[in-house]
């Protein structure tokens, strides 16, 4: 059983996203450590990028802070490797097609595997074009994680039946960001997914409050939180680790 599937075994998984290098390398490393030690079941490591088309203003600004502090893809590999030396938690990269192409897919996935990364999410790579990366990722033992959105409709079962790691269910149309209310008929989407696969499915985009996390965890195998955590980093800077830990504990308790 892979580390990713371990995250969902006998529990609902809390998946935490942070941008690597935000606001700087050392604080970012401390943030990830705090989140892991507070009980996160899987972490998504965002690779800062200049044009993150799936991200709202909160994560866009985190990318700018990270890039301005000198964060590079090579340093993201270093950060992941540092975390892997101390923790057995599943780790997944969140990035875009351009950085992988620019780096060279084979070298990128080789380095990701060497750093102990278990999977990758590429929001701007449609399911039908995943062949650009899937074979290379699989060769290096990296799960290419598929996303299912409210607009996937008759493609839901097709996508779900051919996926690895876990399925990222996008809760709402639009970009990432905190939402006061999630109105998508997620129960119908999850039902179609469960008909097609036993791969775990986690809901992301817009979840920020314990009551939202509790509600989403009743539908899915896990919940994903990003913007709300990145906002804590923006607010508290170098003092963010303790605040992130408190937040993660509250969200874990809710699910």
The pair of structure tokens assigned to 220 is 């899915």
Residue 173 confidence (pLDDT) above 60: no
Residue 7 lies in a domain: no
Residue 2 lies in a domain: no
Residue 190 lies in a domain: yes
Residue 233 lies in a domain: yes
Q: Which of 81, 66, 86 is nearest to 237 (CA)?
A: 66
Residue 53 confidence (pLDDT) above 80: no
Average pLDDT over the chain, rounded to whole?
91
Asked if residue 168 lies in contact with residue 144, where contact means CB atoms within 8 angstroms, the answer is no
Provide the H-helix boundaries in the chain. 3-6, 25-37, 57-68, 73-86, 97-103, 105-114, 131-139, 156-160, 186-196, 210-219, 227-236, 240-254
Q: How many whole angstroms from its chain centre is CA 23?
A: 18
The pLDDT value given to residue 132: 84
Task: Identify the band that residue 74 occupies on the pLDDT scale cut at 50, 70 and 90.
Answer: very high
Q: Which residue has the tokens 């540092």?
A: 82
Instruction: Report how far residue 53's alpha carbon sits from residue 77's, in angstroms, rounded to the nearest whole number.
Output: 22
Residue 113 lies in a domain: yes
Q: What is the tens place of the pLDDT at every residue in 88-105?
A: 999 999 999 999 999 999
Task: Identify the band that residue 144 occupies on the pLDDT scale cut at 50, 70 and 90.
Answer: very high
Residue 202 lies in a domain: yes
Q: Which of 231, 153, 225, 221 is nearest to 192 (CA)?
A: 153
91-94 and 222-225 strand pairing: unpaired
- 132-136, 192-196, 242-246 — most confident range: 242-246
Question: Quick one: average pLDDT of 13-28?
Answer: 97
User: For residue 12, what is the DSSP state?
Assistant: P
The pLDDT value given to residue 184: 64
Residue 181 confidence (pLDDT) above 90: no
What domain range includes position 204? 13-254
* CATH code of the domain in which 75 resides: 3.20.20.70
Residue 143 lies in a domain: yes
The pair of structure tokens assigned to 86 is 């101390």
How many domains does the structure of the chain reveal? 1
Task: Identify the band that residue 176 occupies on the pLDDT scale cut at 50, 70 and 90.
Answer: very low
Question: Quick one: average pLDDT of 173-196?
Answer: 68
The pLDDT value given to residue 178: 45
Q: How many percent of the chain have pLDDT more than 90?
A: 74
Instruction: Report how far residue 43's alpha carbon sits from residue 180's, in angstroms, rounded to the nearest whole number.
Output: 24
- The contacts of residue 205 (CB under 8 Å, 6+ apart) are 170, 171, 172, 174, 176, 177, 179, 224
Backbone angles phi, psi at 254, to 5 degrees: -70, -30
Residue 1 lies in a domain: no
Task: Identify the band that residue 54 occupies on the pLDDT scale cut at 50, 70 and 90.
Answer: low
6-10, 175-179, 241-245: least confidently modelled range = 175-179
Question: Quick one: average pLDDT of 150-164?
Answer: 84
């Amino acid at each position: 059983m892979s580390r990713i599937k371990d995250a969902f075994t006998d529990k609902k998984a809390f998946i935490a996203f942070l941008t690597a290098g935000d606001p700087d390398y050392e604080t970012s490393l401390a943030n990830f450590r705090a989140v892991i030690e507070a009980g996160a079941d899987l972490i998504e490591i965002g690779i800062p990028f200049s044009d993150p088309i799936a991200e709202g203003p909160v994560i866009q600004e985190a990318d700018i802070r990270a890039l301005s502090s000198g964060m590079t893809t090579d340093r993201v590999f270093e950060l992941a490797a540092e975390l892997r030396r101390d923790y057995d938690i599943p780790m997944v990269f969140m990035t875009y097609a351009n950085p992988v192409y620019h780096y060279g897919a084979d070298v990128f996935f080789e380095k990701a595997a060497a750093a102990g990364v278990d999977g990758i999410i590429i929001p701007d790579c449609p399911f039908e074009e995943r062949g650009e990366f899937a074979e290379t990722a699989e060769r290096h033992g990296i799960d290419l994680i598929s996303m299912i959105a409210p607009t996937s409709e008759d493609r839901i079962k097709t996508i779900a039946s051919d996926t690895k790691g876990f399925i990222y269910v996008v809760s709402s149309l639009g970009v990432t960001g905190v939402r006061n209310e999630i109105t998508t008929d997620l129960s119908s989407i999850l039902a179609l997914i469960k008909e097609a696969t036993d791969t775990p499915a986690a809901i992301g985009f817009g979840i920020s409050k314990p009551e939202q996390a509790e509600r989403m965890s009743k539908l899915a195998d896990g919940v994903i939180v990003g913007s709300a955590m990145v906002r804590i980093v923006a607010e508290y800077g170098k003092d963010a680790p303790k605040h992130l830990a408190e937040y993660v504990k509250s969200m874990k308790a809710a699910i």
